[in-house]
C-alpha cells in the first residue's frame, strides 16, 4: 500500500500521522460516501481514529440461537468467567437497559451499544427489540448495533429500522450451499429442523436478502467471515466480491478457533484454524479496495469500556441494581464530553514531520519489511503489560514507513462459543501462534519468564518504549534493528540457515 498524505475534514496530517494507523483507515474511509463516513466516524469498532476516543459495550440479552455452526459449542456459561468468550450473566431487557444507562452515565465516551449474543439476537426478537425500544426512547444519544447469523434478518428489518440502529453485522461464511453444508449442519426454520444442503441454501438466501434490504434502508452493513482452511478459504474471495458489490462497507475475515477442548465439531474432528500468514493473505485478498479496516476487534460480548480494555467488573448486576441513574442529567454531561472530544479531533494534528525512514538511514535501502506486535490498551500508545494483552496490534515497518496491518487476538470471534480453561503453557502456545511472523513484541512491561520464552521462540521482546506513541516506537525499533545489522547480508544468511 502506498502511504498517502491525507487531508480529511480539515484535519491536516503530514507524513508523521499519514504513515500511521490513523492514516491507513482514514484513507480507507476517504473512499466512502460522505453519509456513510459520518456514521462510521464515531464508531469505535470501525473508525481507527474514533476508537481512541469513544467506546462501545455489549449486553448479553439474547441467549437462543436458530442455527448450528460447526465452530460453536453453544455452552457460553463456562466455569471460569474472567476470560474472553465467556458471558457470565444473561440479562433481561430491563436489566440490560439499566446496565447500559449506568455505564453511559459513568463513561460518557460510551456511544455504541451492541447486542451480539450469546446466541443470535434476531433469534430472540422479543428480548432484543424490547432492549432496543427502551434505549431508543430513553437514551437517544446511544447508537445501537446488532450482529446476526442472518437467518431471521429479512423478517425483522422493518422493526430494526424503527430503532436507533446504525449498523448490522452479518456473519456470512459462504454463498455456495455445498460449502455451507460443511459449515452449518442444520437450521431451525418454519418450526422444523432442516439439515444439510437445503439448510445452507435457506440460510444463504436469507443472509443475502437481509444484506440487500439493509443496504436499501441505508443501514451500514459489515460482513464477518470465519476463515476455515480447506473449506471456505478460496471461496471467501468470492464472498467478499459479492457482499461488497451489494453494498457491505466492510468485510472482516476472522480466523477459525477450534481448540479440541471446546468440544465443537471442528475441534473434535481436528479441523485446524488458519496460520497467521494464511489469514493475512486472505485479508489482503479481500481488502481489495481498502475498505476493510483490520483493527476491528473480536471483543468480549459483554465488555465495557474503551476498545481492547475490559471494565466489565465495574458494572456487575448487583452493583447496577443499586444505582439510580438520572439519565437526563447524564445526557447533558455526555454532550459536553462529546463536544470536547470533537473539538480535540477537529484541531489540526500536531505536525511532527518525520522524514521517510529511507533518507534517515541509507542502509534501509537493503532492508526488508518487519512485522511487530504491539500490546496496547488504546490511545495509540504502547501501554499494555504483555501478560495482560489478549490482543496485539500488528504493525509493519519498512523503508517506506510504518503501517498498521491488523489486530490479532487469542480470544473469541463470534457471539456463541465459550473458550475453555487454558493452562499457562497452552495460553503461551496460543500467544505464539498469534505472534507468528512477528519479529518484535512491543509492550509496556513484560515478566522475566515470558521474556525468555519469547526470545527462545526467536521473537525480540521490547519494553523500552512504554507509553510512547506506537508509530514512533515501531519506527525507532526498526532503526535499531537496522543499526544492529539485522538486515545485513550475513544476518540474512544466518536467518535463512536457521529457518
Restricted to residues 81-110, the positions that interact with other proteins (CB under 8 A) are: 90
Q: In the complex, what is the shortest distance from the CB of residue 264 to ligand SF4, in angstroms, rounded to a whole number?
A: 9
Long-range contacts of 271-275 (CB under 8 A, 24+ apart): 271/70, 271/228, 271/229, 271/230, 271/231, 272/229, 273/227, 273/229, 274/227, 274/228, 274/229, 274/233, 275/433, 275/436
DSSP state letter for 460: E
Q: Does 203 bind ligand SF4 (CB under 6 A)?
A: no
CA–CA separation, 488 vs 485, rounded Å?
5
* Residue number with CB closer to other proteins (210 or 416): 416
Residue with cell 480535540: 344
* Residue number with CB closer to ligand SF4 (418 or 444): 418
Strand ranges, E, within 47-105: 55-58, 67-68
Q: Which residue is nearest to ligand SF4 (CB)?
A: 416
Considering CB distances under 5 to 8 angstroms, the limit depending on partner class, which of other proteins, ligand SF4, none binds residue 414?
ligand SF4
**CA torsion through residues 374, 251, 76, 128, sign:** positive
* Residue number with CB closer to ligand SF4 (47 or 224): 224
Considering CB distances under 5 to 8 angstroms, the limit depending on partner class, which of other proteins, ligand SF4, none binds residue 77?
other proteins
* Residue number with CB closer to other proteins (74 or 338): 74
Considering CB distances under 5 to 8 angstroms, the limit depending on partner class, which of other proteins, ligand SF4, none binds residue 186?
other proteins
Among 154, 416, 450, 461, binds ligand SF4 (CB under 6 A): 416
CA–CA separation, 433 vs 455, rounded Å?
15
CA–CA separation, 87 vs 99, rounded Å?
15
Helix (H, G, I), strand (E, B), or coil: what is residue 275? coil
* Residue number with CB closer to other proteins (191 or 365): 191
Among 188, 327, 428, 451, binds other proteins (CB under 8 A): 188
Q: Measuring CA to CA, which residue among 299, 341, 371 is closest to residue 58? A: 299
Considering CB distances under 5 to 8 angstroms, the limit depending on partner class, which of other proteins, ligand SF4, none binds residue 268?
other proteins
Q: Does 124 bind other proteins (CB under 8 A)?
A: yes
Q: Does 77 bind other proteins (CB under 8 A)?
A: yes
Q: In the complex, what is the shortest distance from the CB of residue 196 to ligand SF4, in angstroms, rounded to a whole number?
A: 16
Q: How many residues does the chain have?
A: 499
Considering CB distances under 5 to 8 angstroms, the limit depending on partner class, which of ligand SF4, other proteins, none binds residue 69?
ligand SF4
Restricted to residues 61-100, the positions that interact with ligand SF4 (CB under 6 A) are: 65, 67-69, 72, 74
* Residue number with CB closer to ligand SF4 (77 or 94): 77
Q: Which stretch binds ligand SF4 (CB under 6 A): 99-107, 352-360, 410-418, 483-491?
A: 410-418
Helix (H, G, I), strand (E, B), or coil: what is residue 370? strand
Q: Does 158 bind other proteins (CB under 8 A)?
A: no
- Which distant-in-sequence residues (6+ apart) come within 8 Å of 186 by Cβ? 67, 68, 193, 194, 195, 196, 199
**Other beta carbons less than 10 A from residue 421's beta carbon:** 11
313 prior amide bond cis, ω within 30: no
CA–CA separation, 151 vs 169, rounded Å?
13
Helix (H, G, I), strand (E, B), or coil: what is residue 387? helix
Among 119, 377, 406, 450, binds ligand SF4 (CB under 6 A): 119
DSSP secondary structure string, 147-196?
EE-STTHHHHHHHHHTS-EEEEEEE---S-HHHHTTT--EEEETTEEEEH
Considering CB distances under 5 to 8 angstroms, the limit depending on partner class, which of other proteins, ligand SF4, none binds residue 90?
other proteins
Restricted to residues 418-457, the positions that interact with other proteins (CB under 8 A) are: 432-433, 436-437
Report yes or no: 188 and 65 within 8 Å, Cβ to Cβ: no
Q: How many residues line the site for ligand SF4 (CB under 6 A)?
A: 13
Q: In the complex, what is the shortest distance from the CB of residue 410 to other proteins, in angstroms, rounded to a whole number?
A: 12
Contact residues toward other proteins (CB under 8 A) are: 63-66, 68, 73-77, 90, 119, 123-124, 126, 185-186, 188, 191-193, 258-260, 265, 268-270, 272-273, 275, 277, 432-433, 436-437
Contact residues toward ligand SF4 (CB under 6 A) are: 65, 67-69, 72, 74, 119-120, 149, 414-417
Amino acid at each position: 500500500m502506498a502511504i498517502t498524505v491525507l487531508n480529511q475534514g480539515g484535519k491536516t496530517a503530514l507524513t508523521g500521522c499519514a504513515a500511521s494507523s490513523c492514516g491507513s483507515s482514514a484513507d480507507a474511509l476517504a473512499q466512502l460516501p460522505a453519509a456513510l463516513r459520518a456514521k462510521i466516524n464515531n464508531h469505535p469498532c470501525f473508525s481507527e481514529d474514533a476508537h481512541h476516543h469513544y467506546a462501545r459495550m455489549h449486553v448479553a440479552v439474547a441467549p437462543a440461537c436458530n442455527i448450528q455452526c460447526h465452530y460453536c459449542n453453544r455452552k457460553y456459561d463456562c466455569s471460569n468467567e474472567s476470560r474472553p468468550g465467556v458471558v457470565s450473566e444473561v440479562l433481561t431487557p430491563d436489566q440490560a437497559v439499566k446496565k447500559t444507562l449506568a455505564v453511559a452515565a459513568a463513561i460518557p465516551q460510551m456511544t455504541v451499544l451492541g447486542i451480539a449474543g450469546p446466541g443470535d439476537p434476531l433469534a430472540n426478537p422479543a428480548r432484543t427489540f424490547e432492549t432496543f425500544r427502551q434505549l431508543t426512547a430513553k437514551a437517544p444519544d446511544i447508537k445501537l448495533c446488532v450482529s446476526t447469523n442472518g437467518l431471521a434478518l429479512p423478517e425483522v428489518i422493518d422493526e430494526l429500522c424503527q430503532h436507533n440502529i446504525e449498523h448490522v453485522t452479518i456473519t456470512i461464511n459462504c454463498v455456495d450451499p455445498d460449502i455451507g453444508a460443511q459449515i452449518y449442519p442444520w437450521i431451525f426454520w418454519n418450526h422444523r429442523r432442516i439439515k444439510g444442503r437445503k439448510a445452507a441454501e435457506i440460510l444463504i438466501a436469507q443472509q443475502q436478502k437481509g444484506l440487500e434490504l439493509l443496504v436499501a434502508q441505508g443501514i451500514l452493513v459489515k460482513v464477518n467471515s470465519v476463515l476455515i482452511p480447506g473449506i471456505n478459504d478460496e471461496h471467501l474471495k468470492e464472498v467478499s466480491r459479492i457482499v461488497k458489490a451489494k453494498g457491505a462497507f466492510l468485510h472482516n475475515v476472522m480466523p477459525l478457533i477450534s481448540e479440541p477442548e471446546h468440544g465443537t465439531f471442528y475441534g473434535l474432528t481436528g479441523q485446524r484454524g488458519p496460520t497467521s500468514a494464511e489469514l493475512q493473505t486472505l485479508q489482503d485478498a479481500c481488502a481489495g479496495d481498502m475498505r476493510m479496516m483490520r483493527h476491528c476487534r473480536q471483543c468480549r460480548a459483554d465488555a465495557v469500556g474503551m476498545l481492547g480494555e475490559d471494565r466489565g467488573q465495574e458494572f456487575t448486576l448487583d452493583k447496577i441494581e443499586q444505582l439510580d441513574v438520572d439519565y437526563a442529567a447524564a445526557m447533558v454531561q455526555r454532550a459536553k464530553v462529546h463536544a470536547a472530544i470533537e473539538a480535540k479531533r477537529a484541531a489540526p494534528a500536531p505536525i511532527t514531520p518525520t522524514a521517510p525512514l529511507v533518507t534517515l538511514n541509507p542502509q534501509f535501502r537493503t532492508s526488508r519489511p518487519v512485522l511487530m506486535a504491539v500490546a496496547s490498551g488504546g490511545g495509540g500508545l504502547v501501554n499494555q503489560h504483555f501478560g495482560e494483552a489478549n490482543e496485539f496490534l500488528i504493525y509493519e515497518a519498512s523503508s517506506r514507513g510504518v503501517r498498521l496491518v491488523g489486530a490479532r487476538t487469542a480470544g473469541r470471534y463470534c457471539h456463541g462459543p465459550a473458550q475453555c480453561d487454558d493452562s499457562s503453557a497452552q495460553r503461551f502456545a496460543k500467544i505464539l501462534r498469534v505472534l507468528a511472523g512477528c519479529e518484535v513484541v512491543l509492550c509496556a512491561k513484560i515478566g522475566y519468564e515470558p521474556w525468555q520464552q519469547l526470545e527462545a521462540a526467536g521473537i525480540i521482546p521490547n519494553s523500552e518504549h512504554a507509553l510512547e506513541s506506537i508509530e514512533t516506537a515501531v519506527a525507532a525499533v526498526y532503526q535499531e534493528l537496522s543499526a544492529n545489522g539485522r538486515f545485513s547480508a550475513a544476518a540474512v544468511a544466518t536467518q535463512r540457515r536457521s529457518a
